[in-house]
Amino acid sequence: MIDKQHLINRFISYVAIDTESDPNSDTTPSTANQWNLAKILVEELKSIGMDEVTIDDKAYVMATLPSNVTNEVPVIGFVSHFDTSPDFTGANVKPKIIENYNGGDIVLNEKENIILSPSYFDDLLQYKGQTLITTDGTTLLGADDKAGICEIVSAMEYLIQHPEIKHGKIRVCFTPDEEIGRGAHHFDVKKFGAKWAYTMDGSQIGELEYENFNAAKANVTIQGKSVHPGYAKGKMINSQHIATDFINSLPRLEKPEHTEGREGFFHLSSIQGGVDQTVLEYIIRDHDKNIFQARKAMFVKLSEELNSQLQNNLVTVELKDQYFNMREKIEPVMHIVEIAEEAMIAVGVTPIIKPIRGGTDGSQLSFMGLPCPNIFAGGHNFHGRYEYVPVESMQKAVEVIVKIANLTSEKYSS
């Protein structure tokens, strides 16, 4: 159905462009190089025949595929982000194409002995006989979420080239800075004008998600006193020791490496400091809203207990909510999930409905009035050197988009 080589060429053209976002920047987009892909996407959308192609002053790209039916069909949308994670470099990506994968180790970089192995990444074995696109071991790939963009553009192109497939009006949007939690911050829901949408930002083939973590960021600052260690008795306060007490007071097994499914966690993402001051950066996650609130309260209580023991206010906690579980916004409109599930089955994909252990633009958009479940884009091992994507999964994602458009039209026609 979808030309394989055309899809590969389009995807590789996207990942060749460095679009890494920067959490320390206060601009939108957070990095100037995100404009490079955004502007290319504008021209590409025009070239395939999309209408109302726009780019705003924040680099949000929107476009319309007009309806080709006479009856009233709800406007639906598809959304992906073009930035890549700052967790690992996205500069000078050199993708490798593995034809007819044999199920064994893949040498990504012989010189540095970097190997993508199914003995560690057992998901690889699902794709034996398929075409994989990997990194060369020195960068991430960018399938998160350039695979999603590639699939949306390819689906729109296919619908334009096949007017016999009936569909209502479709809106698409490509956003900056999703990887640093800001992808929806300047998203103009009213301008987008869709009744509902889907983010193409999931991982393995079949994923369909309408639940995600409630998320918060916590900065814990511990103020110490630095004194010459030879004369420190009764005077020095080593902030690093207090930081260790804070870390060890949290539940030991409630960390990402010990949790799965709907289990929440505390994740220490960064430690910076010395004797005089130490700053701990945490992310706090839980699917259950009440437990999420309790997790945040634990940080406050722990800081109060330490300050009481120290008889000084040396520990301060700054908490900031990042996004919430979209389930409460999706459940009243579950038919939009059911359409996606039906579309997957129709094109031969087994739906895997599960909660997201993370967040997408869709979680924020759902609370902004645009219900937005998440659909697989096909990639694995995001944010690092072992990232890969099976081309056949991308082809199926394109088919799912096309089928969602067609099913939505059929359901409202009848």
Residue positions annotated with a catalytic role: 83, 178
Q: How many Å separate Cα 318 from the centre of its chain? A: 25
Strands 207-209 and 132-134: unpaired
Nearest by Cα to 5 from 159, 133, 162? 133
CB 88 within 8 A of CB 139: yes
Assigned token pair, 368:
């902004």
d(CA 145, CA 382): 9
Q: Determine the 3-state secondary structure of 79 from DSSP.
A: strand
Helix intervals (H) in 49-162: 143-161
- Taking the CA atoms of residue 264, residue 268, residue 270 and residue 271 in that order, the dihedral angle to the nearest 10 degrees is 160
Residue 182 token pair: 């800001």
Is the Cα torsion angle 400, 391, 393, 174 positive or negative in sign? negative
Burial bucket for residue 199 (CB in 10 Å: 0-12, 13-18, 19+): buried
170 HSE (CA, 13 A, CB side): 27
Beta strands at 114-116 and 76-81: parallel, antiparallel or unpaired:
unpaired
Distance of CA 231 to the CA centre of its chain: 51
